Amino acid sequence: ATNQKRNFYNVFSQIRTLLSAKFEIQAGLNYNKTQFELENYSLNATQNYSYDAIFSPQLSFLYKPNEQQTVYFSASRGFSLPATEETLTSSGTINPEIKPENGYNFEIGGKFYFFNKSLYTELSAYRMQIKDLLVSKRVGNDQYVGINAGETLHQGIEMMLNHTTQISQIFTVNSYLAASLGNYKFQNFEDNGNNYSGNKLTGVPANKVNAGLSIN
């Protein structure tokens, strides 16, 4: 049995400023430092480990021609820390090879109202380059360890439509459609002499569509 205690510092700042009545800029910076202590009761041992500090900047430009329409462009860096089980080896000790995944995301899109605000739409296109993607590797029966899978590319288009109709003084009908069309693949990933570069990313559906209708 093991017990892991995590301590982290997370400091962030953000600024919003209007260049004019229609243009707005948002910028931010996040700093994270994570360290943890692992107690292994089976081995009667305690280990300490920490990750390098991570800086995550973000910058967005927004254009609002009117109250019902917004067009934006965003560039940002993000990260994801390994889960508790991903930080361990198969013997229950700290895995010093595992690192947080991180990447840059570029996105352009818009949010729009139509027909006297009865129809709301969102549309965006994104391109996200991730380094050290965290994946699970099977090392035995029902036994997995976390590894970093080189570089991956996530790119696609997302859209959402939400329409509301008042059919009487009592009832309204709400319908929605959400779709995500993506192309996700390993750009640079080699493991145990096998080259998976160019393969589709596993465990992530490339295309998703959801639709629904409700009467209130």
pLDDT for 208:
95
Nearest to 32, CA basis, from 14, 8, 6: 8
Q: Where are the beta strands (DSSP E) in the chain?
A: 2-18, 23-40, 45-50, 54-66, 69-80, 101-114, 119-131, 134-140, 143-148, 151-166, 172-188, 190-191, 194-195, 207-215
This model's pTM is above 0.85: no
How many angstroms separate the CA atoms of 165 and 186, rounded? 44
What tens digit of pLDDT does each residue of 46-60 get?
888 888 999 999 999
Average pLDDT, the chain: 90
User: Bridge partners of 118?
Assistant: none
Q: Can you give the length of the chain in residues? A: 216
pLDDT for 167:
87
Res. 43: pLDDT tops 80: no
How many angstroms separate the CA atoms of 173 and 168, rounded? 10
How many angstroms separate the CA atoms of 115 and 69, rounded? 12
User: What is the C-alpha R_g of the chain?
Assistant: 23
> Judging by beta carbons within 10 Å of its beta carbon (0-12, 13-18, 19+), is residue 205 exposed, middle or buried?
exposed
What tens digit of pLDDT does each residue of 136-169 get?
777 777 777 888 888 999 999 999 999 999 888 8
What tens digit of pLDDT does each residue of 184-198 get?
998 888 877 888 888
